[in-house]
Structure formats: structure tokens, C-alpha cells
Amino acid sequence: MNTSVRMKIWSAIPTPLTENLQVDEASMARSVEASVRDSVDGLFVAGTCGEGPWLTDKERAKLLGCVVRSAAGRLKIAMQVSDNSVPRILENMKAAAAGGADYAIIAAPAFLLNATEDRVAAHFLGAIDASPLPVGIYDLGKHRQIVIPEDRLGELYRHPKVAIIKDSSGSESRRVVALAARAQRPELVLLNGDEFRCIEYMEAGYDGVMFGGAVMTARQLRRIGELLSAGRREEAAALDAEVKRRLYGVYGGESILCWLTGLKYWMVRAGLFEGTASYLGYPLHEECKAFVEADAALHG
């Protein structure tokens, strides 16, 4: 981690939904205010944790509008625009720009036939070239069926319109590519997208984090960054272990059985959300529920 730079914290914020799966704007506004209080730098909306791939276009627009109005310039806003073709991504980018987003973030498509290395790279480059917004690349590596070829990552990361990398790959070799691109383009912001590998990425030289768990751990993450910057690694590691304990507890253990439902229930118990409705239907077992109730009472 660059010790002269304050750690950047972005929350890949979950989307509060009503029982009929519409965006709960009042809950979203409360959550934005909580992020401001926690000194979060930016919000990534409609990502995986934000259920963007499942929301209708109308609800995605409502979500973005609510977040932009609530943030009122106090936070940077990134919108996921991933899709299965360049024209569809560009339509999403135009909507994000019209809605007030600061960045458009692209992940690998869920569905791409004839996914040769050249076609996957062209999928990203075609959208980046024509983007009306600065672009973020969300790299899930081998966690996604369609993988950005490692030998093409540098080409994407060096593109002048690419401003942010959300690296959720967990791959050391892909991290090396990102760091090499940042050495050539110091303005490129590298964010760790893996909640459970924070210190590893910070010590490698990443600028901060962007993940769903930041909505409940932002203050602790900020302190970890401060401790690392001060050379107090042992204290940072102890706090990082506490962050992992909390996240596993809310997510339902290392199997992540409850994941999004557990996180939304934490938001309910923290007084931010009204319910845990989602498109994804993760369970909420009793052990997870009990952990969330105790943790939210302490930290919410």
C-alpha cells in the first residue's frame, strides 16, 4: 500500500427491495447517509451484490436516481453496465451517464458464444472506446465462465478511459498485470474486490477496496489502512481477522450459505433496510440470524 495515500473505500452496496421486488427508495436513502457517515469514498450500485443483473431497466434507473439524489455529490457513484453485447453495454452506459453516475463498470458477460480471446477483448474494448463515462473493469477472473484473457488484461488496463479496476479474481498473476498497468498510468485506481484478502492486496500496492461487505465494515477497513500505513502490521492483521469473523458470521459461515440475505438482514437490524427480499433467495438460518442480531446491536 502507498503509505502517503489514504485508503479508498468503495461499497458495492446491496439494493433494498420491497416484497414485490421494487427498489425501496427510503431504505436506499438511509443507506447512502450511513455510507457518508462512515466516510465511504464511493458506491458501486447494481453490481452482483446490488442485484443489477436481475433488476429491470426501470428499477435500475430508479435505483441510480435515488442514490445520486441522496449522495448529493458527497460520494462518487459507479454503475454496473455489463451486458452480453457491445451495443447493449453502450445503451446501459448512456443511461448511467444520463442518471448522474460518475463511472461505468463492466464485468465479463454472462453469455458469449464463440468466446475466443480476441472476441472477449473486443467485447470490452468496443464498449470502452465509445463510453461516455470513465470506465471501471470488474475482473472476476476464473470465478466467471467468461474470463478476460490474462495476456489481454494489460491492454485493457492501459486504455486512457479506464479509471478503476475492481479485482475480485484472487489471482496473484492478474494482480501483477494490474500493478504493472498502474506503474504506467499512476491515475489508475486499483481496488481489491475480495473481502477475505484485504491485507494481501493492500501490501501489494492496491489503493483500497470495493466489495459488498464494506457496507458494514467500512470503519474497520479504514482503520486497517491507517495501521498498515503506520507500519503497525500486527494490529492491522488482528483487526482484519475480526473483519473476516464478522463477515463469515453475517454470510453464514465459510460456505457463504446466507450471503446476501444475511447482509440484508444486517441492514434491517442496523435500521437501514425494511426487509430482506431479493431475487437470489439465499436462506437465513438461525445461527446466522442470531449472529447478525448481536453484531448489528454492537456495530450497526
Q: What's the DSSP call for residue 15? A: P
Tell the residue number behind the cell numbers 463498470, with chain if given: 105
pLDDT in tens, 37-77: 999 999 999 999 999 999 999 999 999 999 999 999 999 99
* C-alpha torsion sign, points 73, 136, 211, 66: positive
Q: Please give the grid coordinates belonging to residue 294.
A: 448481536
Q: What is the mean pLDDT of the chain?
A: 95
* pLDDT (0 to 100) of residue 5: 62
**CA pair distance 215, 40, nearest whole angstrom:** 9
* Contact (Cβ atoms closer than 8 angstroms) between residue 196 and residue 221: no
* pLDDT (0 to 100) of residue 257: 96
pLDDT in tens, 182-237: 999 999 999 999 999 999 999 999 999 999 999 999 999 999 999 999 999 999 99
Domain formed by 8-232, architecture:
Alpha-Beta Barrel (3.20)
Quickly state the pLDDT bin for 259 (edges 50, 70, 90): very high
Residue ranges of domains in the chain = 8-232
* Contact (Cβ atoms closer than 8 angstroms) between residue 211 and residue 251: no
What separation in angstroms does the CA of 86 have from each of 82, 112, 161?
Answer: 9, 11, 16
pTM: 0.95
Instruction: List beta partners, residue 42.
Output: 10, 76
* pLDDT (0 to 100) of residue 203: 95
* pLDDT (0 to 100) of residue 4: 47
The one-letter code for the residue type at 279 is Y
- Exposure string for 90-110, b = 16+ CB within 10 A, e = fewer: bebbbbbbebebbbbbbbbbe
SS3 category, 9: strand
